[in-house]
Amino acid sequence: MTDTYEILALKFLPDPEMRTISVGIAALQGVRATNIEVILTGSLLSAIPPIITFMLLKKHLVAGITAGISK
């Protein structure tokens, strides 16, 4: 957890329900033991919504990029 925003979120949002997914996953790391399966599962599940959003909006994204190329 090296991102400044994640550190600030951990400090100013002590309620676990208000944290972002990345901060919650980083908080799962222990000092002596880390359950890597839970961290990997959380990382995979947090990556699914952006992938689905990209797949649904890919046509519009490509159309916007190609419309901006020609003037």
DSSP letter assigned to residue 28: T
Calculate mean pLDDT across residues 5-33.
75
- The domain in which residue 22 lies consists of 4-69
What's the pLDDT score for residue 52? 97
What's the pLDDT score for residue 1? 46
Q: Which residue has the tokens 């972002």?
A: 20
Write the CB contacts of 3 (distance below 8 Å, at least 6 apart in sequence).
22
Tell me the per-residue pLDDT of 29-55, one tens digit each, with 9 for 90 and over.
Answer: 777 778 889 889 989 999 999 999 999
Number of helices and strands in the chain (H, E): 3, 0
- Based on the structure, what is the number of domains in the chain? 1
